[in-house]
Structure 1
Amino acid sequence: MSENTSYTTEEIARLLKISKLKVYDLIKKGELPSYRVGKQMRVDLSDLEAYKQNSRSGASAGPPAGDAAALPHTPFALPPATFTTPLHFSQPPAFTGKSAGVNVVITGQDMSLDILATHLERSQPSSRPLRSYAGSLDSLIAMYHGESDIVSTHLLDGDTGEYNLPYIRKLLVGFSYVVVHMLARSAGFYVLKGNPKDIRDWSDLQQKGLRLINRERGSGARVLLDEQLRLHGIQSAQLSGYDTIENSHLAVAGMVARGEADVGIGTEKAAKIIDGIEFIPLIQERYDLVMIKKPEHEQWIGTVIEILRSSAFKNELSSIHGYDLTDTGRVIYET
C-alpha cells in the first residue's frame, strides 16, 4: 500500500474498531495527526501506523480516566463508552485561519448546535468546531470519557420534574463544569391529522391496538417516555411498537404521517415540517449545554456564552419555529 494513502475518520474508526467519537478524541489530543481537505478530516497511513506502534509500546495516553466501576450506579447511567446509536460527524465550513486551530467537539442532535458551531468558528478562529450527533445520555457519557467538549441535554427526571441537572450531577461526578441554558421547546405526541385515536395524554397510550413508534435508548424523547410510563404505572411490554426505533424526531413524525404508527414522541418543530400530522403538546422541555471547565477551555467557554447571549445568534434561532429563547445564555449551574 502506498505511503501516500490517507483515511477518513470513518475509515480509521472501522480499522481500529473504535467509535468515530474516539477518533476525534485522539485527533483532539494530538495522538493521531490529521489534516483537513475541504470539510473532511484525513489521516495519513504513516501517522496511523505510528499511532498503532506507540499504542503497542504503551506510549499513547490510553483511555480517559474513569472506568465502568467509576460511573455512579443510578437509574440514569448507561454503561460507559457503550453508544446506543451510530455516531455521525460533520464539520462546519472549512477552517480558513493560518493555524490548524483547537478542536472543540460539540455533541447533540438539535440544529441549534450546528448554528452555534458556525458562530463559534466565526467568533474565535483559533477554535475548530467538530459536530457529533448522539442522544442526550450518550452525549453526557462521551463527556465523562473526555470525548466531547460541549454537550446538549434534555433529560427529564420524573420524580422532581426537573430537567438535566439530576442526570448531570450523577454522571459527571468529580468534574468541574458549567451548565448554560440554550432554549426551551415543546415536546409531546405526533398523531395523524384529525387525531383519529383521540390521544391527548400519557394515559391514552394504554389504548388497545395503538401502534407506537419509539426513539433510541439514550435520547431525551426516550427518557421522557420511559419516565412518564413509570409515573403512570404503564408497562412498556403493553405497548405495541415500543421496540420499534427511529433515530430522529423527523423520522418518528414521518412514520406517523405514513400511517405506519399511530403515535410518536418528539418536538413541535418536526410537526411543522412533516405534512399530515398534528402535534399534541404535553411538556415544555429545557435544552441546556454542558461545558467542562479546564484552563485550556476558558477562552472558548466565555465565547460560547457570549454567542448564546448575542442578538445575532438569537435572531438566527428565532426564525426556527418552536424555540423559546427567553433565558438563552443564562448560567443554570456552575461547579
Structure 2
Amino acid sequence: MSNPISYTTEEIAALLKVSKLTVYDLIKKGELPSYRVGKQMRVDAEDLESYKQRAKGIARASQAIKPEKSLSAASQVLTHGARPIIITGQDISLDILARHIEQNVSGVRPLRSYSGSMDSLIAMYRGESDIVSTHLLDGDSGEYNLPYIRRVLVSSSYVVVNLLSRSAGMFVQQGNPLHLNSWADLNQTGVRIVNREKGSGARVLLDEQLRLHGIQASQLTGYDTEATNHIGVASKVASGEANVGVGIEKAASIVSHVDFIPLIQERYDLVLMKKAENLHWIESVIAILQSETFQNELRSIGGYDLSLTGQVLYES
C-alpha cells in the first residue's frame, strides 16, 4: 500500500510563499483539508494540489475579463457585486478586522494582501489598495509611519488611524547564548543574522538601527539572507541557521526554541485612501476599530497595546 505524501503547515507556508497564519486560516475556512498526527497538523499533497487548481481557476476567471478592466473591476465580478477593498499587511489583527468588515459593512468585500509596509504604501499610491498597514520607523525623528506616508502619498487624500502598538525586537536562540541584548550587540564577531525582504517594516527597523549605531550592513554575516515573514525569521533562528533576526513578539510565542528580546514599541497604523467610492465605508471601519467587540477580540490574543486603537492620527 502506497504512503501518500503529506506536508506540515510550515512546509505548506513555504510552498505557497505565505505566512503560517494564512495556512491556518485556509484550514479553518475548510479550503485546505487537514488532519492531525499527534500535535502536528498535516495536509495531503493531493489536497494541496486541489486547492492550487481552484485558486488557478479563480485567476483564469479574472483574466477572462476584458483587458481594459482593472484588477479591482475583476475582483468586483468575482465578489458577486460587492465592491472589494484590499487590506494589506501580515498581522493577524488585519484578518480579524477583515472579518468584522465583512460582517458589519454592507456593499463591500474585504480581500487580504500580505505585502510589506513600504510595498503596501506604493501599491496604495498606484491605486491598488484601499487599507494599508504600516510600521515604518523614521530613525531621525523617532516617529512611526507618518514621515513615510507623507513622502509616498504625495497629493493624495487619506486618513491615518492607529490599529495597535506591539513589541518589536530581536529573535535569539533559546537561552541567548551570544548574550545579544541591544542593537549595538549585532556588531559582535560571529553573529549571523537573518533579514526580512526590502520594503518590510522589520527591514526598515533594522536598517535604521544599524545607521543610528554606525554599523555597516556589509559587516553583518547573513544580511542578504531573507525570510518573507516574522515566523520565517524566528524559525531560521530556532533551527540554528542564524543567531538573530528582527521581528515582533507575537511570532516568538508561536515558534518553539526561540527567545525574544524586546527593544522598541512600534506603532502599527492603518492608512485609508479617501477616494470618492471609499467614503461611505471609511467611517464604518473606524467605528469597528473603536468598538469594544473588536478590541476585546484583540485583547483575547494578548501582546497588543490598544491604548490608541481607533484614534485618528492624521487626515490629509
Match of 2:260 in 1: 279
- Aligned residue number for residue 89 of structure 2: 108
Report the counterpart of residue 303 of structure 1 in structure 2: 284
Aligned-partner Cα distance in 2 for 1:40–1:261: 35
Cross-structure match for 1:293: 274
In structure 2, what is the Cα distance between the partners aligned to 1:44 and 1:215?
A: 31
1:242 maps to which residue?
A: 223
Separation in 2, partners of 1:110, 1:127: 21
Moved over 4 A (4+): 38-41, 47-50
SS at 2:170's partner residue? strand
Q: Which has the higher helix share?
A: 2
Which residue of 272, 287, 301 corresponds with 1:320? 301
**Mean Cα displacement is larger for which, 132-141 or 252-261?**
252-261
The question of 1:176 aligning with 2:157 is answered: yes
**Correspondence list, 1:214-293, <5 A:** 214-293=195-274
Per-residue deviation, 1:44: 6.4
The whole-number CA distance in structure 1 between the counterparts of 2:83 and 2:312 is 24
Query: Displacement of 1:171 after TM fit?
Result: 0.3
| Equivalent runs, 1:95-134 vs 2, <5 Å | 100-134=81-115
Superposed displacement of residue 48, structure 1: 4.3
Unmatched segments (≥5 aa) in structure 2: 1-53
CA distance in structure 2 between the aligned counterparts of 1:44 and 1:263, rounded to whole angstroms: 41
Q: In structure 2, do the counterparts of structure 1 residues 122 and 40 end up closer, same or farther at CA, with 3 Å as the change threshold?
A: farther
TM-score (ref. length: structure 2): 0.77
Closer, same or farther in 2 for the Cα pair 1:41/1:123, shift >3 Å?
A: farther
Structure 1 spans left out of the alignment, 5+ residues: 1-37, 63-89
Please give the secondary structure, in 1, of the residue aligned with 2:246. strand
In 2, Cα distance between the equivalents of 1:120 and 1:39?
Answer: 23
- TM-score (norm: length of structure 1): 0.73
Pick closer, same or farther for the CA change 1:49–1:196 going to 2, 3 Å: closer
TM-fit CA distance, 1:193: 1.6
Distance 2:60 2:263 in 1: 50
What's the offset of the Cα at 1:61? 7.5
Q: 2:58 aligns with which of 14, 35, 42?
A: 42
Letter in 1 for 2:103: R
| Match 1:148 to one of 109, 129, 150 | 129
Residue of structure 2 equivalent to 1:3: none
**Fraction of identical pairs, as percent:** 60
RMSD after superposition: 2.2
How many residue pairs get aligned? The number is 258
